[in-house]
Amino acid sequence: MRNLTNLEISPETVLDAYAQGIFPMSHGFDDPEIFWVKPISRGIIPLDAFHVPRSLKKAIKKRPFDISFDRDFTAVIDNCAIARVGRETTWINQIIKRTYGKLFELGFCHTVEAWVNTRLVGGLYGISLGSAFFGESMFSIESDASKICLVNLVNVLKENGYTLLDTQFLTSHLSHFGAIEIPQELYERLLKKALRRKAEFRPEKIQNP
């Protein structure tokens, strides 16, 4: 890990880091620094083993939310940066927000949003590179909102030929969807293979579940 104090990081630097299995974080929203992380073990969701819990399938059938893609990046990352019950701190600071905003403008960062009328109630964002998608953060104000966003994300990735969904770390929440933890060495081999293939984030190819 290497700290950068009061510096901007370019989109090119971030993309190069992802290609090497590295990603940036901060210690908090007001932290003026970022640091680079390369975990010993990596969380991924094997796309061919993605599992939707039965209770969530029932919730999806009721269509509780309107789902959109790339509609409001700023609102999504702002909500992801808010401390909530169960997540008292955030690793998203102003440097990260600005940098990922530039990546969104360049077409490398994508969002999935859940709405009730005009109110944003859940979402996630991540980076697309080659046929790899690097999930960054998600938030949920209404029950199941972020989970249903994740289901929609996986549908897009499968339909568009992605081969790797990186979750960075393994959590109990993600394990319910089939997430596993693998050694960094294996992750880097999967990453290199994914980067050799090209996939486009085209949600218009699918319909919401």
Q: How far apart are CA 157 and CA 202, in angstroms?
A: 9
Each of the 209 residues of the chain gets a pLDDT tens digit; together they read: 444 444 679 999 999 999 999 999 998 888 889 999 999 999 999 999 999 999 999 999 999 999 999 999 999 999 999 976 655 568 899 999 999 999 999 999 999 999 999 999 999 999 999 999 999 999 999 999 999 999 999 999 999 999 999 999 998 889 999 999 999 999 999 999 999 999 999 998 554 44
- How far is Cα 178 from Cα 198, in angstroms, rounded to an integer? 24
pTM, rounded to two decimals: 0.92
145 sits in which H/E element: helix 145-159
17 by Cβ neighbours in 10 Å (0-12 / 13-18 / 19+) ranks as middle
Ordered domains of the chain (ranges, CATH): 40-205 (3.40.630.70)
